[in-house]
Structure 1
Amino acid sequence: MTGFALASQIMLWIAVGVLGVLVMALARQVGVLHERIAPAGALTLHQKVSVGDKGPEMELTALDGARVRIGGRREGRSQLLFFLSPDCPICKTLMPVLRSAARAEAGWVDTVLASDGEDEAEHRRLVMKQELAGIPYVLSETLGRSLGVSKLPYAVLLDEQGRIASLGLINNREHLESLFEAKERGVASIQQFLAGA
């Protein structure tokens, strides 16, 4: 082996060693960054109602004619109130997520769709197009106002006693699931849980 070949082999192994050290340092930094980025939960935008407050109690008629009891005591069951609008594009993109969550959490959560819209036909078209049959859908401006709903899509999870367990603006699956997580962990929000951890 000539001197040039030997020198190039040595330089190559040094380069491989330096590259290995750099990859390990980068992997460490990715791990640190991963720990610092906490999951984002549903965003609460107002303070009209707070976690722990008694939720509204009312009986409403769903679009399909069924009577729907909102709030109050429920033996072993919580109630998810999901506020939406037929002209809300984010609401429409969340419908598959909502259907999936309603099925997955059906053992302990009753899901109710709610809106303050007046055009029943438009809401019925939304139910058909988004395949929401089987999930009660109520129209009530009073319900949204009593919970301080100002932006959509918004969700409120009521516990078995009819108290607000968690609430917030929902923009993706993570936000919706954070409501269930917050209730199961007994905190107002995932952010509160992470701050205490």
Structure 2
Amino acid sequence: MTGFFLASQILLWIAVGVLGVLVAALARQVGVLHERIAPAGALTLHQKVNVGDKAPEMTLETLDGRQVAIGGKRRRHGQLIFFLSPDCPVCKTLLPVVRSASGAERGWLDVVLASDGDAAAHRRLAMAEGLTGFDYVLSEELGRSLGVSKLPYAVLIDEEGNIASLGLVNNREHLESLFEAKERRVASIQEYLARG
């Protein structure tokens, strides 16, 4: 009986060793695969404006009646304009990311939520999602002037009033790629990787 118990212990340790080697090999393969896959940035669709263009300057009224300036030179603050809709489920899933980015980047970034349509529906969205602290504007002209055709869409305007980056943003990585593109002074992460 003792011999059987000893043999089973030896076989168990051999199995654990083989399993450890297999896990290490699998982890290495995942690492290799991760290196081969380039990060996907915000998708830039055929647009009316390009990175480096002067952003349109306009003063718009927010849902709560205040005035907010879009574009133009700003003292040490860029501006992220996030286009959304009350009936866009992807937009709603990105709102926590937008809130997080607003808090993390507040030292240099002002966030403006933008859309068009029924003001009452947008007020309900703002209340339901806790967006009352954001400037929230309704302007079809703003969307048209920035070439917004699909949602959720974001445009990052730098401190000088120029378009720093823009694109369709479907997840956190897409939104963060706008900041990364601005920092690296490229139109998109794809352009940066193509240079590399």
> Which structure 1 residue ranges, 5 or more long, are not aligned?
1-10
Structure 2 Cα separation of the partners of residues 45 and 83 of structure 1: 14
What residue identity is the alignment partner of 1:158? Answer: I
- Number of residue-to-residue matches in the alignment: 193
- Contact 2:151/2:168 (8 A) holds in 1: yes
User: How far off its partner does 1:116 sit?
Assistant: 1.6
* 1:101-154, Cα deviation, whole Å (9 max, x unpaired): 11111110110000021x111111111000001100011000000011000000
Measured in 2, the distance between the counterparts of 1:152 and 1:47 equals 13
- Tell me the TM-score normalised to structure 1 length: 0.87
Counterpart residue number, 1:84: 84
Alignment RMSD: 2.4
Q: Does residue 106 of structure 1 match 2:121?
A: no
Q: Which moved more, 1:153-162 or 1:94-103?
A: 94-103
Counting only pairs closer than 5 Å after superposition, residues 128-143 of structure 1 correspond to structure 2 as: 128-143=127-142
Distance of aligned partners of 1:24 and 1:92 in 2 relative to their CA distance in 1, 3 Å threshold: closer
Q: Secondary structure at the match of 2:63?
A: coil
Q: Distance in 2 between matches of 1:16 and 1:93?
A: 42
For residues 38-49 of structure 1, what are the structure 2 equivalents within 5 Å?
A: 38-49=38-49
Residue 89 of structure 1 and its aligned partner are, at CA, apart by 1.0
What is the one-letter code of the residue matched to 1:69? Answer: A
Q: Which amino acid aligns with 2:136?
A: Y
Residue 27 of structure 1 and its aligned partner are, at CA, apart by 3.6
- SS of the equivalent of 1:64 reads coil
Aligned-pair identity in percent equals 77
Q: What letter corresponds to residue 149 of structure 2 in structure 1?
A: S
Shift of 1:174: 1.0
Q: SS state of the match for residue 93, structure 1?
A: helix
2:72 matched residue in structure 1: 72
Deviates more, 1:77-86 or 1:31-40: 31-40
Q: Which amino acid aligns with 2:171?
A: N
Offset of residue 196 of structure 1: 2.2
CA 1:69–1:22: 2 relative to 1, 3 Å: same
Q: 1:190 is matched with which residue?
A: 189
Q: Within 2, Cα distance between the matches of 1:18 and 1:126?
A: 54
What's the offset of the Cα at 1:28? 3.2
> Which residue of the partner structure matches residue 122 of structure 1?
121
- How far apart in 2 are the matches of 1:17 and 1:60? 66
Q: 1:18 to 1:137 in 2, by over 3 A?
A: closer
- For 1:141 and 1:132, the matched residues in 2 are separated by 20
